Amino acid sequence: MRVTKFLLALVPLLVQGQLSGRVGPLTSHASKSSKKTCSVLDHGAKADKATDIGPALVSAFVACKAGGTVHIPVGDYAMKTWVSLTGGSAWALQLDGTIHRTGAAGGNMIFIGNTNDFEFFSSTGKGAVQGNGYQIHAQGSRTGARILRLNRVTNFSVHDVVLVDAPAFHFTMDTCTDGEVYNMAIRGADWGGLDGIDVWSHNIWIHDVMVTNKDECVTVKSPSKNLLIENIYCNWSGGCALGSLGANTAISLVHYRNVYTQNSNQMLMIKSNGGSGSVSDVIFENFIGHTNAYSLDVDQYWSSMSAVAGTGIKITNATFRNWKGSEANGSQRGPVRVLCADGAPCTNINIEDFAMWTESGSKQLYTCRSAYGSGMCLKGGGSGSYAATTSTVSSGPAGYSVATMKGDVKSSFGTTVSIPVPPIPTEFFPGVAPYSRLAGS
Ligand SMILES: *[C@@H]1O[C@H](CO)[C@@H](O)[C@H](O)[C@H]1NC(C)=O
Ligand SMILES: *[C@@H]1O[C@H](CO)[C@@H](O)[C@H](O)[C@H]1NC(C)=O
Ligand SMILES: *[C@@H]1O[C@H](CO)[C@@H](O)[C@H](O)[C@H]1NC(C)=O
Ligand SMILES: *[C@@H]1O[C@H](CO)[C@@H](O)[C@H](O)[C@H]1NC(C)=O
């Protein structure tokens, strides 16, 4: 997007943070469209909410994959068969209509692979994929498709599209490079396994995204390097995380900032059980939380994961700065839990400017284990393991009270009824304007 490129060129240090270079498509969608536009309507699609758009989308892709824009105009389309759009270059996918899932297969409804210079966007900010996951979830099952997966895509962006009610995950980006994801609303059911965005990639900027679900909000997996993730609104979710992490973990230079989380499992979790490798040089700053179960939660003995081989993942040089707000019940689940592996103690962990307080009761706990650094219950310097130590705090720290977003969802969407397609919000963190204007605004 032009504004973004302009900003990157003008103030690279300010905007880029942890990135290693430019992100986004190499050519604009306007120039792709003027080269060639392939409307799915000319390839057999019908906006009748009944005809399978799958074959038409594949056919339009084949016609435009060497440079051009595949256009899905305004209207309601059914998708019965999934599409694998691989090997394209200098192409864009413009989704201005709504795709409704009708097929039952697993896999990925839309798979983009081995592609360079790619853009998936809506020109109106209203393009959406309605996964109709409730039809499957109501049967007690979480089988079925992811909505969107990008694999080995370089120089790309995904923006201004809405993904709703995935049967399984919503959006996975793996083994990609130099990408930008922004202005998105993702809304799923109130259940685990319905992740918002999962990323393991290199040099990716994810910003201005809202997620509602009950699993990952925007989560980093291994291997990943040079990720900047900011202005994230976990509007009733599982919360953001690094993990789950296993053998040969390699995550470094990840920067989360301006993350607002309410009614979620956690504000940020680093989760593993055994494993090897490292997480290093990571920053988590400007976090606001309300009514979450966990807040800052490093758990290298995570009980929801079976232990994997290895003595633990080494976490080093991790900074948690400017965390404010309140947790649901601080004596049950304290706002600071840094439980590191005894076989690989955490070092250089810094908790700074951290003020959170409990919403019920009158005390909260800070717990640390085999963790070194500064702040809260962390031990200074040192090496070697130590058993969990817990300190109890019985008055709210100064400055914990912070803004709530006025749009906070007050109850979940459950798992059994159709989930409406939301508008993309105009704000993702209190008082912080999105980087790019919403398409169509
Ligand atoms: C992505 O763009 C950069 C220019 O920023 C270019 O050097 C690189 O080769 C591109 N990647 C691929 C796989 O073409
Ligand atoms: C710690 O990580 C930050 C950024 O993530 C980096 O700027 C800094 O140089 C690192 N410090 C050390 C001692 O490696
Ligand atoms: C908070 O947690 C404590 C300790 O587990 C429990 O005794 C208390 O009932 C909880 N309060 C609420 C309101 O759930
Ligand atoms: C948060 O989610 C709820 C329910 O989806 C929605 O009503 C509210 O508008 C969302 N907030 C924003 C800012 O979009």
Nearest to 216 by CA among 277, 171, 283: 171
Q: How far is CA 176 from CA 200, 203, 268, 310, 375, in A?
A: 8, 8, 23, 27, 36
Q: Are 259 and 242 in contact (CB under 8 A)?
A: no
Q: For residues 422 and 440, give the distance between their C-alpha atoms in angstroms, rounded to a whole number.
A: 15
Q: Can you tell me which residue has the tokens 């409704």?
A: 100
- For ligand 2, pick from 18, 227, 281, 374 the residue to mutate: most ligand atoms within 8 Å of CB: 281
Q: Are 167 and 192 in contact (CB under 8 A)?
A: no
Q: Is the dihedral of CA 288, 291, 292, 297 positive or negative?
A: positive
Q: For residues 212 and 368, give the distance between their C-alpha atoms in angstroms, rounded to a whole number.
A: 30
In this prediction, residue 1 carries a pLDDT of 38
Q: Can you tell me which residue has the tokens 């040079």?
A: 226
Read off the pLDDT of residues 225-245 as tens digits, 9 standing for 90 and up: 999 999 999 999 999 999 999
**Is residue 403 predicted with pLDDT exceeding 90?**
no
In this prediction, residue 15 carries a pLDDT of 53
Largest CA distance in the chain: 67
Q: Are strands 389-393 and 83-86 parallel, antiparallel or unpaired?
A: unpaired
Q: Which atom of ligand 1 is found nearest the CA of 22?
A: 5
DSSP state string for 146-215: EEEEEEEEEEEEEES-EEE--SS-SEEEEEEEEEEEEEEEEE--SSTT--SEEEEEEEEEEEEEEEESSS
Q: How far is CA 313 from CA 166, 220, 381, 386, in A?
A: 31, 15, 19, 16
Query: Distance from the CA of 36 to the center of ligand 1, in angstroms?
Result: 22
CA-closest residue to ligand 3 atom 6: 332
Other beta carbons within 10 Å of 21: 12
* Average pLDDT of the segment spanning 266-289: 98
For ligand 3, say whether the CB of 361 is within 6 Å of any of its atoms: yes
Read off the pLDDT of residues 163-214 as tens digits, 9 standing for 90 and up: 999 999 999 999 999 999 999 999 998 888 899 999 999 999 999 999 999 8
Q: How confident is the model at residue 59 (pLDDT cuts 50, 70, 90)?
A: very high
